[in-house]
Amino acid sequence: MANNTIYTQLDAWIDAHFDEQVKFLQALIRVPTDTPPGNNAPHAERAAELLKEFGFEAEKYPIPPNEVHDNGLESITNLIVRRKYGQGKTIALNAHGDVVPPGEGWAKDPYGGEIENGKIFGRASAVSKCDFSTFTFAARALEAVNAGSQQKLHGTLELHFTYDEEFGGLLGPGWLLEHGHTKPDLMIAAGFSYQVVTAHNGCLQMEVTVHGEMAHAAIPDSGTDALQGAVHILQALHALNTQYLQITSEVEGISHPYLNVGQIHGGTNTNVVPGKVVFKLDRRMIPEENPIEVEASIRQTIEKAAQSFKPPRGGSQLKVDIKRILLANAMKPLAGNQPLVDAIQKHGEVLFGEPIPAIGTPLYTDVRLYVERGIPGVIYGAGPRTVLESHAKRADERLELEDLRRATKVIARTLQDLLT
């Protein structure tokens, strides 16, 4: 266990190098990692270059192109920085570099890393390129301060910088774990500063193809309108959200399940009755739900709606193909995460001046991939109280620089407690 003098020295080192930390984050923001299309290897190369300037050698793990392309992406290289201090436990810090495209409505350059009124703006400034910097500079502070201390570090620290969170993480941490490149004892993943997350929702994503029969718009009776059929199915799916309000989680921070249809396309031209429509849905599952039962229920709803559709002018019966895209299990707390929770809460309250609750989140993250393998983990990093405040996945994503500074101190102090 560290003493207060060490904590003060860690804080002072981070303050003295904070301008450098911000420049590091700006450099990461300025290399796009829009996913899709998911051409993320160039960012990993740039991150490795920047890390090398600090004396941190990043091991590079390029994912075979066929695996990447099969998952609808272009390129992925994951990074591991290993810092071995001696015998003892291994602690991993994981942040993902991939992020959804900026979309419209930005007042700032999404790849500019512009600073205004104490905030840094840019895609992934809050989720989660910021925690590339949080974790890197916490590690640098830890090593710099302990190099001049009589108290010796023990164990190993690993930085996992990965690039498949938006598509489920299986080619990110999942791939590294599956291929035996890492097996930490504890882990912390990128998150926000005002709570430590110990549980999160699961996610089921599915692609539904509705087959009708194309026809000329002048003689619609000769076909079956797949778009009208899809609307009928979508109404049945959206009606489930009313039922889901009656299903509540006992985990603080998580309310109830929700189904969202986020993408739809079909048809060939305005003068053609659509013969095929494809839509993709996202079903968030609370930790208490059984994913297999949830998927079976969704399939049943779709198939029943397709069978009940009556084409307004006759026509043939709809056919539907249902494909699972992703099944991400919920994260449930492991008993071994308590040292992480205790340290983050202790230091977070000191540095932020308020209690740091341990709660759940309705998001799903890569942490589940570690927890599923018996590795206790929590979510904590630089960010505001809510996703809404961060503008993550919206225009003008931003991060308060003071949150970045203080979260870096929390992580450095936590590592000091766990590695000495």
Q: What percent of the chain has pLDDT over 90?
A: 91
Residue 248's SS3 state is coil
User: Rounded to whole angstroms, how far apart are CA atoms 51 and 33?
Assistant: 18
Can you say how many angstroms the Cα of residue 196 is from the centroid of all Cα atoms in its chain? Answer: 15
Query: How high is the pLDDT of residue 387?
Result: 81
What is the strand order of the sheet 115-116 is part of? 115-116, 119-121, 398-400
355-377 tens-digit pLDDT: 999 999 998 899 999 999 999 99
In DSSP terms, which residues pair with 283 in a beta bridge? 204, 259
Q: What would the mean pLDDT of 184-211 be, rounded to a whole number?
A: 96
Q: Which two tokens stand for residue 272?
A: 């053609």
Say whether domain 202-328 belongs to CATH 3.40.50.720. no
Side chain identity, residue 266: G
* pLDDT band per the 50, 70, 90 thresholds, residue 341: very high
User: Which of 7-11, 153-157, 218-222, 255-259 is least confident?
Assistant: 218-222
| Architecture of the domain defined by 4-200+330-418 | 3-Layer(aba) Sandwich (3.40)
* pLDDT band per the 50, 70, 90 thresholds, residue 1: low
Residue 174 has pLDDT above 80, yes or no: yes
CB atoms within 10 A of CB 352: 17
19-30 tens-digit pLDDT: 999 999 999 999
Query: How high is the pLDDT of residue 385?
Result: 87
- Please report, for the chain, the start and end positions of each structural domain, with discontinuous segments joined by +: 4-200+330-418, 202-328
Query: How high is the pLDDT of residue 290?
Result: 96
Residues 6+ away with beta carbon under 8 Å from 241: 258, 259
Residues 6+ away with beta carbon under 8 Å from 238: 259, 261
- First and final CA of the chain: distance in angstroms? 6
Cα-flanking dihedrals φ and ψ of residue 213, to 5°? -150, 120
pTM given for the model: 0.90
Element (H, E) at 48: helix 41-53
Averaged pLDDT of the chain: 95
144-159 tens-digit pLDDT: 999 977 779 999 999 9
* pLDDT band per the 50, 70, 90 thresholds, residue 2: low
**DSSP character at residue 316:** P
What is the strand order of the sheet 319-328 is part of? 258-266, 276-285, 202-211, 319-328
Residue 417 has pLDDT above 80, yes or no: yes
Strands 119-121 and 398-400: antiparallel
